[in-house]
Structure 1
Amino acid sequence: MSTAANAASPADTPLTSRRQVLKALSGLLLALFVSTLSSTVVSSALPRIIGAVHGSQTQYTWVVTATLLTTTATTPIWGKLADLFSKKTLVQAAIVFYVLGALASGVSQSGSQLIAARALQGIGVGGVQALVQIVLAAMIPPRERGRYSGYLSSVTATSTIGGPLLGGVVVDTSWLGWRWCFFIGIPFAVASFLLLQRTLNLPVVRRANVKIDYAGATLIAAGVSVLLVWVSFVDNSFAWSSWQTVVLVAVGLTLLAVAMWVETRAAEPVVPLAIVRQRTTALVIVASLSVGTALFGVTVFLSQYFQLSRGYSPTEAGLLTIPMMAGILIASTIAGRLITRTGKIKPFIVTGTALLAIGLAGLSTIDYKTPMVLLSVSMLSVGMGVGLTMQNLVLTVQNTVPLKDVGAASSTVSFFRSLGGTIGVSVLGAVLARHVQSQVSQGEVTRIAYGDATGRVFLISAGAALLALVAAVLLKPVNLRSSLDLPASEPDPGERTSSDEETAKTGG
């Protein structure tokens, strides 16, 4: 057993009243809003941004991918740190990383500088998105968490789908310009930092001999990066059967294999394989990969489609995505309340993945002259699918793993959802770029080529959504717990004492 005592100060007392919870939640939601906004606010503005910094089509994709990649790599580290140190301090540190990355992005002078700055910003985004879920689990009993998860889904929906609209307005406003797509979130981030300083007070549990698996996180990020670089350039800068392909694929797979080996031996693995191997967690991970691919793929490539294939302005492109935003808001809000009332999660996830697949199948049929009614119905279906699945997949895992593993399990699911978005945007972007290049070289008009290519991209996404539906159907039914996921004390890794069992029953 660890001899380290709880190091909670008098101010670090659990939140007991609904008013206290809502005050703290307001700061968390504001941080979540700006961090998620950073991933999509550039979507509508990207054609203008890439032109301003003289970037290429590959850099177009990597401006988004860089943020998603560092978000993916750092999410599990933030989650593990939350099991060991002050959650409040960690959330505030993540906000600082976000602000530094936003400032660097806003002053970038080239495509390479912008990609590097976006990678820095992703570190903060990964921390906020993982830690908000973990802090929520520490404050609110699971049976009540469905209502609050609905708030999280609504905020995520507003920032994710509203991002392209906001970015379009900013870039179309002459006295603002594209740099304000990055600067605009900074005041909100500072406000959330100060609000959390005043309202968020949680017990701090410290353990001796803490080991953070930096090696595992670095190897995973490096392996994924190498494979994404290969996907971005293969069949363009070099052939599928070239020596570059052999080297990049071999290096990427080797790095990932070594990462898995490291994870089996790490004292505090960044991706706990024991958790990943559990049936429910494994199925949730499969579904999360697909949801991540759909969410980020749709937001990035629909905005490009509306501008380059249909001729709309950035602001108009953002407005045209409103059906998807409405779908997420409506579905997440209603589902959150029903889950709190019934305690059941699986029916909503199954319904959500089915709607996601249907909506993406509809989008896979689009071209440069598709009726807007079909586009709107398909986007609404996709939005409702995301709203019913995204937060509820995390909630499912939180209610199946031991209380001591909630932080690691939550961040692991977020990790794979971000990984799905990272791989999805990179792979789908490469497919789109090659198809457009091929069609234009054959004399096809650019807007026609972009319309056809976007439909092909969503056909691939629909296949991923079907895989998520299969995983959802195979999930075992899960009922919400009625206790807090915050044990009063923490045993050594691998141990679970009778006092822990009592904590689980009484809510700590």
Structure 2
Amino acid sequence: MVPQNPGAAAAGRAAPVHYTHRQILEILSGLMIAMLTTMISTSVVGTALPTIVGDLGGQDQLSWVASASLLTMTASTPLWGKLSDILGRKLMFQSALVIFVLASVGAGLSQNIGQLIAARAFQGLGVGGVSALAQVILGDVVPPRERGRYSGYMGAVFGVATVAGPMLGGFIVDADGLGWRWCFYVCVPLAIISLVVMQKVLKLPKIKRDTRIDIFGAFTITGAATVVMLILTMGGKEFDWSSMWTYLLAAVAVVLVIGAVFAERAAREPILPPRLFRNPTFVLCSIASLAVGVAMFGAMIYLPQYLQIVKGMSPTRSGLMTLPMVAAMFVTSTGSGQVVTRLGRYKWFPVVGLALVASSMYLLSRLHVDSSKLVIGADIAVLGAGLGLTLQIMILAAQNAAAITDLAATTSGVSFFRNLGGAIGTAAFGAILNNRLTHHLTEGLAAAHVRPPAGGGTSLGTPDAVQHLPQPFKGIVLEAFTQSLQTVFLVGVPVALVGFVVVLFLKELPLRSSVSRVDQAPSTSPAPTDAPASTPATAPTPNTTA
């Protein structure tokens, strides 16, 4: 399946591999199944989260349930890219799927909120590996000039998972014989199918490299992301925003960021090579992806809350309400991919996309208790259109501007910043929601000159419990929750606008027609510029097929 070039092998380089359209589709099918599996695990839980946290206790812990997987997914993304360089794409991709399966079973067996958060953290490790390596593998087998249509299919998978997950989650939660635990179990058979498919169709040449794992860089990068998440999720609840804990954690985060900079500059094989940040395309795509992640994950987590708590929809109906977003995302993702492949132009897709994302955040901030389904659907569709025009194009632009040796680091780097934005957005939006909800509830109760029901306080239970609250408490709760969500989505507007301004400065480079860079040095070239002058570059040699 994988033709090799003996001349290239003799020269000490990886043999160039040329895949037929059929072979690419076979590989793509395995990647799409894996992406569908992991994305469903996120969206299926998003719809069921109000019921899950209501059952296990702790509405104030909802952001942790969502953020735990986002945090580990974010922190591990660069590590998966580097490990795939060392141990091979196929082995690492399958390892990520195995971790995901085991963690999904553990999440379904959770007996309390702490166990669920821990299982979700391990689940995020698997999701991070699958999401990053799927894009890396696609970059290995498809040249940038042709990658648009294939990456469009990957974006369409995201859209399908976005709608299939909420509907599936709603059905599972509402079904008498199942329950929310099956939201985690349902992902297991899909992941096993993906393992089987990838074992059969993925045949990549395994390349030996004289490299090592950047342990100090891994510690500082993941540590900095973790500490930032701790501040956002625990600030205002476990400790005051203006407190010694906040200042101490912020100082630790700054130290870890500085340590990461020095670690990556000194490492022989850094996880995020400093040369990537000298590439303006990578920097701009990373910033834009971070902004998109904030808006995307924030909306995915908190829109079901609005639909179930405020509008009184069942999980199934709230999942169906995402259909406009998915339809718009499917059309714009596949359509933009086809146009990019045909014309070779890509810059204005993310420009328009981020403008739509910013507009959707503003429209969502205008929702109120009595908003019609038509208005909600239209607002969600705008968000889907913006995401479809942006997500895959950012990866494509960054990959096109990278050397082939930096493909994994570039892809995982952009994914890292997108996931970081999602993790920060989920945590920050959760902090804003909880803070404003307490304020608006207290204010509403005081204005009505009433006291909350005995034992009620300012915490929310399941959506069903909210719907059965007596008046005037129910009206006060719904209005307070809506006002709090309005603030959450309004905060997303300037974040999306930052991404919009950034992509305006993106320089559109011609899409390459081969997997390798046309300007890449020949096999007789000296060591890469990032290698120390005293250390000769060790050329990779092809090994057996993975």
Q: TM-score, normalized by length of structure 1?
A: 0.92
For 1:247-396, what aligned pairs fall within 5 Å after superposition?
247-396=248-397
SS where residue 47 of structure 2 aligns?
coil
Partner of 2:207: 205
C-alpha change, 1:416 and 1:474, in structure 2 (3 Å) is: same
Note if 1:462 corresponds to 2:493. Answer: yes
SS where residue 311 of structure 1 aligns?
coil
SS where residue 204 of structure 1 aligns?
strand
What residue identity is the alignment partner of 1:175? G
Contact 1:364 1:462 in 2 (8 A): no
For 1:224-270, what per-residue CA distance to the aligned partner results, in whole angstroms no more than 9, with x for missing partners?
22222222232333323222222222222222222222122122222
C-alpha change, 1:41 and 1:218, in structure 2 (3 Å) is: farther
Partner of 1:30: 33
C-alpha change, 1:482 and 1:75, in structure 2 (3 Å) is: same
For 1:66-85, what aligned pairs fall within 5 Å after superposition?
66-85=68-87
Partner of 1:193: 195
Of structures 1 and 2, the larger Rg is shown by 2
Contact 1:289 1:421 in 2 (8 A): yes
Report which stretch shifted further, 370-379 or 327-336: 370-379
SS where residue 45 of structure 1 aligns?
helix
For 1:103-118, what aligned pairs fall within 5 Å after superposition?
103-118=105-120
Note if 1:150 corresponds to 2:152. Answer: yes
For 1:292-334, what per-residue CA distance to the aligned partner results, in whole angstroms no more than 9, with x for missing partners?
1111111110001111111111111111111111111010011
Contact 1:15 1:21 in 2 (8 A): no
| Aligned counterpart in structure 1 of residue 47 of structure 2, from 44, 47, 52 | 44
Partner of 1:473: 504
Question: Any gaps of 5 or more consecutive residues in structure 1?
Answer: 501-508
Partner of 1:130: 132
Contact 1:69 1:422 in 2 (8 A): yes
SS where residue 325 of structure 1 aligns?
helix
Partner of 1:506: none
Partner of 1:505: none
What residue identity is the alignment partner of 1:459? L
Contact 1:366 1:451 in 2 (8 A): yes
Note if 1:453 corresponds to 2:454. Answer: no
Q: Which runs of 4+ in 1 moved over 3 A?
A: 2-8, 485-497
SS where residue 256 of structure 1 aligns?
helix
| Aligned counterpart in structure 2 of residue 101 of structure 1, from 100, 103, 106 | 103
RMSD value over aligned CA atoms? Answer: 2.3
Residue 215 of structure 1 and its aligned partner are, at CA, apart by 2.4
For 1:322-372, what per-residue CA distance to the aligned partner results, in whole angstroms no more than 9, with x for missing partners?
111111101001101000000111011111111111111111111222233
Residue 161 of structure 1 and its aligned partner are, at CA, apart by 4.0
In 1, the alpha carbon distance for the partners of 2:516 and 2:41 equals 30
Contact 1:406 1:485 in 2 (8 A): no
Residue 15 of structure 1 and its aligned partner are, at CA, apart by 5.6
Contact 1:164 1:299 in 2 (8 A): no
Residue 3 of structure 1 and its aligned partner are, at CA, apart by 11
C-alpha change, 1:327 and 1:250, in structure 2 (3 Å) is: same
Contact 2:232 2:424 in 1 (8 A): no
In 2, the alpha carbon distance for the partners of 1:144 and 1:332 equals 15
Q: TM-score, normalized by length of structure 2?
A: 0.86
Contact 2:444 2:480 in 1 (8 A): no
For 1:207-236, what per-residue CA distance to the aligned partner results, in whole angstroms no more than 9, with x for missing partners?
12x211232222222222222222223233
Report which stretch shifted further, 82-91 or 183-192: 82-91
Question: Any gaps of 5 or more consecutive residues in structure 2?
Answer: 1-8, 446-475, 540-546
